[in-house]
Structure 1
Amino acid sequence: MNPRTGTRLQGKTALVTGSTRNIGSAIAVALAAEGAFVIVSGRDTARGAEVVDTITGAGGHAAFVPADLDGSPEASRRLAADALTAAGGRLDILVNNAGIYPAVSTVDTDEAAFDRMYAINVKAPYFLTAAVVPSMIESGGGVVINLGSWIARLAVPVGALYASTKGAMETLTRAWSAEFGPHGIRVNAISPGVIRPEEHAADGDFPGAALMNGTPAAAAGNASGIGAAAVYLASDNSVFVHGTVLDVDGGRTAVAVVA
C-alpha cells in the first residue's frame, strides 16, 4: 500500500491508460498519492478494482473505467467521454501508457501483427489525445504524458516493430508540444529502461535484468520509479519542461556499457 505522501496534484484529475498492472498501476498509485483523482483504465475489471482499492485504501481517490483501446477512433473517443464523466467533466492529466510488446523478429511479423501493434501503441493514444485535448483547452490547460522506451534509441536484436512504435510516440511528444503548448498544455514523455515486472520479486528470477549489466544502476528498475517521474511531469515542478523525453533507465542509454 502506498500512503498519501503529498499534495502536488491536489484537485487534479488524471486518466492513466493500461493502469491495471505494472508501470501503469504504479503511475496511477503515485499520482493518487499526490492528491489526484485517478481514472484507472484497462481491459481487466478485477485487476482494475484491485488498483482502485489500493488507492482508496491509502486515502486516495480513484475510479475504474473499462476500455479496450484497439486503435479505433471510436474506442478512444468512448474512453475519453467515459473518463470525463467519471472525473466530473474535467481531465487535467492524460497518461498514454497502454501498449503491447510481442517479442517477435521482423521476418516473423505478419501484416496482422504489424497492424495490431501500431493500432494499440500509436493509433489508440493518438486518437485518445485528440479526444481529450479539446476539453483541456476549454478548462485552461493540462498535461499529456506519453510512454516511450529505451529501445526506441538503443536497439536490441528482437523488437524492431515495438521500438518503431515507441519512436513514434516520442516523436509525437515533440510534435504535440509544438501544437498544444500555445494552448496551455504541456506534453512530455517518459522513456523507461528495463523495469522488473511485478511478478518477479528480484532480479535473480527476471532474465531481462541482464540487460542492465555494466550500467550505472547495475540492476533492473522498479515501476515506482516511473510513477515518481510521472508525478514530476504532471506537477508544477516541471512547469518549464516541454517536449522532453525523460529517460528513467538507470543510465542505460546515456552511459557506454563496457563488456
Structure 2
Amino acid sequence: MTIFEGSTALVTGATSGIGYAIAIELARQGAEVVVHGRNAERGAKAVQDIENVGGRARFIAADLSEADDVRRLAAEAGEVDILINNAGIYGFAPTVETDDADFDAHFGTNVRAPYILVQKLVPAMIERGHGNVVNISTVAADKPAAGAGIYGASKAALDLLTKLWADEFGEAGIRVNAVSPGPVETEGSAELGDIVEGLGRTRALQRVGQADEIAKAVAFVASPAASYINGVVLPVDGGSRAERPAA
C-alpha cells in the first residue's frame, strides 16, 4: 500500500511496543519514518526492520524528559507530515508515595514533549496546507485506576490538548486526534505479569490487545480515509463490559 507515499512520519518511542508497531505500519503504507528512541542499538534494529519490509527510515536519539532535547529532535526531524506522539512513561504508586521526580517525569515526557513537538513541527504543516498529529493516550485518562493517578492525569492533559489543537489548527487543514489503547501485550506490559491479562478480562472482547491492532487504528486516523475525523479520542480497547447486577 502507498497511502502515505511522499509523507514523512515522526514516531516517538518507536523502538519497541506500540510505537514500533506504528512505525512498521506507516512504513508499510509508504511513509518515510523518523524513528525516535533513546537507545541507538534498538533504533538501528527498528530502522533495519522497516527497511526489511521495503520501507525507509532513519533514527534520532533524544531524551524527551529534557525540553531542549525535544527541540533538537524536532529540528533534526525536519519537515514532518505525520507526528505520532507515542512515547510515554507510566509509573504506579499511590499519591502519598509519589515524589516530585515522579511527578515531573510523567508530565515532562507525557505532556511537555508532545506540546513542544506540536509547537515546533505544526507551523510547517500549516505552511504546506496539510498534516496530521496523532497522540497516544490510555483508557486510564478518563477512568481512575488505582495507583495510576499521575500517569492518568498526564494522559488526560494530552486528551484535552488533542481537542484544543484540533480547533486551533483545524482551519489550516491540520487534523489532531488521539488513540486510546486498552491493555496491550508489549515488552513493557510483560513486566507487569498477570496484571495485564487480568485487565484484558475486564474488556468486552475478554482479551488484551496486540500492538499491531493499535497501529492499524493509528494509521487509519492519520490517513485520508479519516479526513473528517478531528479532535477525537478514539478508544481501541476491546469495548467496555456492561454493568452486572449484584448477586
Shorter chain as denominator, the TM-score bin is over 0.9
Is the 1:16–1:41 contact (alpha carbons within 8 Å) kept by the matching residues of 2? yes
Counterpart for residue 128 of structure 2: 139
Counterpart for residue 195 of structure 2: 207
User: Normalization by structure 1: what TM-score?
Assistant: 0.90
SS at match of 1:103: coil
Q: Residue by residue, what CA displacement relative to the aligned partner does 1:148-182 show, whole Å, maximum 9, x if unpaired? A: 11011122111100000010011000000000111
Counterpart for residue 76 of structure 2: 82
Structure 2 letter corresponding to 1:13: T
Is the 2:31–2:56 contact (alpha carbons within 8 Å) kept by the matching residues of 1? yes
- Equivalent-residue separation in structure 2 for 1:199 and 1:78 (angstroms): 26
Q: CA deviation at 1:101?
A: 0.3
Counterpart for residue 54 of structure 1: 49
Relative to structure 1, the CA distance from residue 148 to residue 199 in structure 2 (aligned partners, 3 Å threshold; closer, same or farther) is: closer
Counterpart for residue 232 of structure 1: 220
Structure 1 letter corresponding to 2:232: T
Q: Does 1:191 align with 2:177?
A: no
Is the 1:31–1:231 contact (alpha carbons within 8 Å) kept by the matching residues of 2? yes
- Equivalent-residue separation in structure 2 for 1:208 and 1:169 (angstroms): 23
Relative to structure 1, the CA distance from residue 256 to residue 71 in structure 2 (aligned partners, 3 Å threshold; closer, same or farther) is: farther
- Equivalent-residue separation in structure 2 for 1:173 and 1:165 (angstroms): 13
Q: What pairs with 1:108-257 in structure 2 (closer than 5 Å)? A: 108-198=97-187, 206-252=194-240, 255-256=241-242
Counterpart for residue 16 of structure 1: 11
Gaps of 5+ in 2: none
User: Normalization by structure 2: what TM-score?
Assistant: 0.94
Is the 1:215–1:250 contact (alpha carbons within 8 Å) kept by the matching residues of 2? yes
Counterpart for residue 63 of structure 1: 58
Is the 1:141–1:184 contact (alpha carbons within 8 Å) kept by the matching residues of 2? yes
What is the number of equivalent residue pairs in this alignment? Answer: 244
SS at match of 2:95: coil
Q: CA deviation at 1:65?
A: 1.0
